[in-house]
Structure 1
């Protein structure tokens, strides 16, 4: 049986017309509906009715720069053949400029320009990679706008500010991505908001909190992140906790406030602000209260003999501690 390639052209649902402008006193010019770009759909087989068409076999949907491919698709449209909704199943692939997405199922809301993906969906652009249980992508916009449930997001971090070499030349910029997981993320051109069980992994740092906002440069690199709620961070054998934190990506400095506490193998620090630099063994603490653990007694020392073991100390508040 010979299969034919069918192509159907539909008109997308019209954009709401602008309000009529008044001319010649109270007279108003009748609004003229402005149609959106047409939707072209091609496939090997097609069956349809007045309100719905089913395409199967190498389905390709195009609208402006958007190209959507899948195994089978159902298109819903109004009486004037205005496409309002497209449902795709099986090996869904989307390409729009530098952005790509894939999954097993998709729903394209044509008037809103929103593509909803499920079935192990993934999406990416040159600086961001998205994974999750379900994602919604805004099409037809210059930036990467998205909303992801049970998200894992890999972001390109701004280059690290490394110290100069002994020769006086700048060290080469290191670009290390940051991976962030959360119950939900909503992203735009300038920032992404993560909520629910947020976990950030960057270099040797693991940072956890209830909510985080990541800020981007014009080139979509993360330069700064702000965390609130049950902030907890670890870097090697050091840890710090508090209620708020700011992570400055180029310098690797984490600033924790809100009753912050920091610990390493032998020391506990409290204060009004704690600074921890990724990969650096030191803490910086404002209004510091430091507790040093007792030294372990030497083997074989009898009770009551020899110099007394050291005891925890609490120096006066204020100052900086560098363990």
Structure 2
């Protein structure tokens, strides 16, 4: 077999082996009922009604359907167009953790745009899904389509020893298939 055919075959086999984890960049949160109630549990709340915001602190746990957001503190921004407060955005800070039935994402800060149905995590972000993991600087998750995207680190050190800063790094678990002797 020629070197070119051999290289192509190796590439095709490698692509097939990792296509499951790589292609599966659709979040388990796809189609989340973003109209479901948002439950908040925290040690403390400070309502700043004049600024249309409330600050929850102390091991904050926010749940909406099958999504759970945990952080040291969360600022909830709201409007009062109908007289009743309507959540617009949640800004999470410190030990941010986004959990779904099959994935966990962590970062330094997080923003949940309630109307846009987008969750963004920033700063030392890690996404673990099915034994595979990605690391980078920013993760954007669309709750309607389930699409996730990652941006690399903007400076400093790489997420993985030996990797270049400014890159997204990952480790993908290759599913074991039956072997024939």
1:282 to 138, 143, 147: 147
Mapping 1:111-130, distance limit 5 Å: none
In structure 2, what is the Cα distance between the partners aligned to 1:294 and 1:254?
28
Match of 1:259, SS state, is strand
Residue pair 1:235, 1:278 contacting (<8 A) in 2 also:
no
In angstroms, what is the RMSD of aligned CA positions? 2.2
Gaps of 5+ in 2: 1-30, 153-167
Q: Which residue of 2 aligns with 1:294?
A: 174
How many residues align? The count is 130
* 1:280, distance to aligned residue in structure 2 (A): 4.3
**1:182 aligned onto 2:66:** no
Q: Return the alpha-carbon distance in structure 1 between the equivalents of residues 106 and 146 of structure 2.
A: 16
**Superposed structure 1 runs of 4+ greater than 4 Å apart:** none
Q: TM-score, length-normalised on structure 2? A: 0.65
Query: Which structure features the higher share of strand residues?
Result: 1
Question: Does structure 2 conserve the Cα–Cα contact (< 8 Å) formed by 1:235 and 1:279?
Answer: no
> Could you say which structure has the greater relative contact order, defined with CA pairs below 8 angstroms and 6 or more residues apart?
2
Aligned counterpart, 2:133 = 268
1:189-204 equivalent positions in 2, closer than 5 A: 189=49, 190-204=52-66
Report deviation, 1:185: 0.5
Which residue of 112, 124, 128 corresponds with 1:259? 124
Equivalent residue, structure 2, for 1:9: none
- Which protein shows a greater Rg? 1
Query: Offset at 1:194?
Result: 0.4
Alignment of 1:1-323 (within 5 A): 175-189=35-49, 190-219=52-81, 220-278=85-143, 280-287=145-152, 288-298=168-178, 301=179, 305=181
Q: Which moved more, 1:274-283 or 1:262-271?
A: 274-283
CA distance in 2, matches of 1:280, 1:231: 22
CA deviation map 1:111-167 (0-9, x unaligned): xxxxxxxxxxxxxxxxxxxxxxxxxxxxxxxxxxxxxxxxxxxxxxxxxxx9xxxxx
TM-score (norm 1): 0.37
C-alpha contact 1:268 1:290 (8 A) present in aligned 2: yes
1:205 and 1:278 in contact (8 A); partners too: no
By how many angstroms is 1:266 displaced? Answer: 4.6
